[in-house]
Amino acid sequence: MSESMRALDKGQLRGRHLLSLYDFTVDEIRYLLDQAHQLKAAVKNGIYTSELQGRSLGMIFENPSTRTRISFETGMTQLGGHALFLSGRDMQIGRGEPIKDTASVVTRYVDAVMIRTNSHEEVAEFASFANCPVINALTDAYHPCQALADLMTAEEVHGSLQGKKLAYVGDGNNVSHSLLAAGAKTGMDVSIAAPEGFEPEGFAIQQAKEAATTTGAKIHIGNDPVEAVTNADVVYTDVWASMGYESEQSERLQAFQPFQVNAGLMAEASTEAVFMHCLPAHREEEVSTAVIDGEQSVVYQQAENRLHVQKAVLASVIQ
**Domain count of the fold of the chain:** 2
Write the pLDDT tens digit of every residue in 208-245: 999 999 999 999 999 999 999 999 999 999 999 876 66
On whether the CB atoms of residues 259 and 195 are closer than 8 A, the answer is yes
Residue 7 in domain: no
Mark whether 95 is an active-site residue: no
306: annotated active-site residue:
yes
Catalytic residue among 30, 55, 116, 120: 116
Predicted pLDDT at 244? 63
Residue 65 known to bind ligand: yes
Residue 238 annotated in active site = yes
Of 30, 233, 278, 310, the catalytic one is 278
> Considering the domain boundaries, does residue 15 fall inside one?
no
Helix (H) or strand (E) holding 274: strand 274-277
Q: How confident is the model at residue 150 (pLDDT cuts 50, 70, 90)?
A: very high
Please give the pLDDT value at position 4: 44
167 and 138 belong to one structural domain: no
Q: In this predicted structure, what is the pLDDT of residue 246?
A: 67
How does pLDDT run across 239-261, given as a tens digit for each residue?
998 766 667 788 899 999 999 99
**Domain holding 98: CATH number?**
3.40.50.1370
**How large is the average pLDDT for residues 162-178?**
98
Check the annotation: does 279 bind a ligand: yes
Question: Please, what is the average pLDDT of the chain?
Answer: 94
Q: Is 89 annotated as a binding residue?
A: no
Instruction: Please tell me which residue in 143, 252, 277, 308 is annotated as part of the active site.
Output: 143
205: in domain: yes
Residues 226 and 249 in one domain: yes
Mean of the pLDDT values across residues 294-317? 98
What pLDDT, on a 0 to 100 scale, did the predictor assign at position 63?
A: 86
The pLDDT of residue 182 is above 90: yes
295 plus 310 within the same structural domain: no
220 is catalytic: no
Q: Within 15-165, where are the H helices? A: 26-44, 67-78, 99-109, 120-129, 144-158
207 is in an annotated binding site: no
CA distances from 14 to 78, 104, 139 (A): 19, 19, 23
Q: How many residues does the chain have?
A: 319
4 is in an annotated binding site: no
The verdict on 93 and 174 lying in the same domain is no
pTM of the model: 0.95
Share of the chain above pLDDT 70, in %: 95
Residue 13 lies in a domain: no
Closest by CA position to 139, among listed 236, 68, 86: 68
- Identify the pLDDT of residue 2: 42
pLDDT-based confidence at 128, cuts 50/70/90? very high
In a domain, 57, yes or no: yes
What average pLDDT does this structure show over 173-192?
Answer: 98
Check 16, 55, 306, 308 and give the catalytic one. 306
Q: What share of the chain is helix, strand, coil (3-state, %, to 5)?
A: 50, 15, 35
Domain holding 296, by residue range, is 146-302
306 is in an annotated binding site: yes
